[in-house]
Chain A
């Protein structure tokens, strides 16, 4: 029983870190551009699908290198062609345009690959199990936790220790002022969008061997991102990680107790947290309020 709980706990943390890596991009785009980006989940799905297709042709490592670049490029194009047009307009415009795009891509995936789910095997270097006494845990699950944590740590360094990060954070507080001070705000928004897309794409790659790839995977990852951002606070990396782990661990442990209501638990926590801290746990004043 203890080892079951421990492995569920570790599952939850891994899941939470992947959620956080997806949610942080969603959060930064929302903060800097004020767009509720429903197409964010599709970046995650594209990461998984591109990786899956490329892996069969050019092998594991080259596809790990190329997939994020592809997703980043697509993110760049979408931001420049579509999402740019709705900045500063009614919030529903950004929401509907990204939702429409996500629906179209999801259907495109279904046309190309069918609606069946595919499973990918874990890469050969992490196929084994990790054993500690009686406790046995798949190596790959530890691997994804480490990779997701490394992605979040890199982003944290970028945001906290560089000039660019300072400008992004200022952009979330008052984007007009940031523009007026001579920063290229449109470029900043594009870069943030591309960073978010890349992180989502990478998360898609590492998550693919654990949760099979399917056409709805992008939509399914989106709701946890919503909850995590509202819970942790907009644009806050520590808040997003904490929110991600809360969602991941609670859903993972809940499968043991009340498996049917697993989906509802994150929302309950979110409602509870928002009631006491309307901006989320680490939320600060920002432009979307």
Chain B
């Protein structure tokens, strides 16, 4: 019992369970939903960056593919009545593409790995942007309706919030289980010293491929949920700026030093972005500068400061 009380997850879950009740914030239920989606996204990304040391700059693409996969299966296969299966299929598509890319570049290191993730995910962006017949091109896909799930009306944004909340709880538990399993420990060994891990008999290429696939799956899942939140899918979610967002949110919180860092980071990141973009047309200026400042001043993120003390 004591152990459960000390578990940060319990408190995070409780805080977000009561989200709609908060004064002021509770009115912005879609902000809360978006936060939960970002939590899934950054936690999945941190399996790559924080646990394996894979500098992936392409997670925005898996997120976007998840959104497109969900939107397309919803519209074409499910005849506008389905909820759960399109999201799972979206996640699988994210995982599939991440797996394919991860397999191709599993033995590349550092900067070269990052370059290849940028270049290849950019292909996916252009395909979604140009393939009008399937993806709707620049106009994107619209007309997605949240129908009912197990008899609960998902059109109601509060019901949808709790649906995303349950998805978040499940994903968060699974991702932490992965990080704490022997598989996760092997990933950390690879991050610390890939050559030694290899010498100890670990197939580092396979581990990198596996974690990239898993991470892409959860990113796709987050994208699928996002697709239902905004009830649309646009190529702009695959853009590299999305990949930059997830990196900066993870680094800001301190994903490299703490498992919970991405949660702190995306909380601050999403809220700040929401406020800034509402108040100033040229918020991108501050946004870009914040990237610079975070890297210069807070390279280990907020959790890094807490851990040092």
Chain A residues packing against B (C-beta within 8 Å) = 30, 34-36, 82, 85-86, 89-93, 95-97, 99-108, 110-111, 223, 226-227, 229-230, 260-261, 263-264, 267-268, 270-271, 274, 288-289
Contact = CB atoms under 8 A, between A and B. Distances in A.
Contacts of B57: 92, 95
Nearest to B130: A260
B225 to A, nearest CB: 25
Given A226-B119, A230-B115, A267-B123, 12 more contacts: A30-B115, A36-B111, A93-B299, A96-B295, A100-B291, A106-B284, A111-B282, A111-B285, A223-B119, A226-B115, A230-B116, A267-B119
15 contacts: A82-B296, A92-B55, A95-B247, A96-B247, A96-B291, A96-B295, A99-B244, A100-B288, A100-B292, A107-B285, A227-B119, A260-B132, A271-B120, A271-B123, A288-B110
B249 to A, nearest CB: 11
A270 B119 contact: yes
6 tightest A-B contacts by CB? A100-B291, A103-B288, A104-B288, A107-B285, A107-B284, A288-B111
Contact of B295 (A30, A100, A107): A100
Q: Is the interface of B mostly helix, strand, loop or mixed?
A: helix
Contacts of B114: 36, 91-92, 95
Interface residues of B, number: 43
Contacts of B109: 288-289
A261 B49 CA distance: 33
A96 B130 contact: no
A100 B285 CA distance: 9
Interface in B245-297: 247-248, 251, 256, 282, 284-292, 294-296
B152 interface: no
B130 A261 contact: yes
Contacts of A99: 244, 288, 291
Interface of B: 49, 53, 55, 57, 108-116, 118-120, 122-123, 126-127, 129-130, 132, 241, 244, 247-248, 251, 256, 282, 284-292, 294-296, 299
A46 to B, nearest CB: 15
Nearest to A33: B111
B78 to A, nearest CB: 28
Contact of A101 (B110, B120, B288): B288
Nearest to A234: B112
A260 B129 CA distance: 10
Contacts of B126: 263-264, 267
A91 B119 CA distance: 15
A270 B290 CA distance: 33
Contacts of B108: 289
Contacts of B53: 90
A90 B109 CA distance: 11
Contacts of A101: 288, 291-292
B251 A288 contact: no
Given A36-B111, A96-B248, A107 B288 contact: yes
B276 to A, nearest CB: 12
B134 to A, nearest CB: 13
Q: Which of A86, A107, A260, A271 has the most CB of B within 10 A?
A: A107
Contacts of B282: 107, 110-111
B119 A97 contact: no
Nearest to A30: B111
B130 A104 contact: no
Nearest to B107: A278
Contacts of A93: 295, 299
B295 A91 contact: no
A34 B113 CA distance: 12
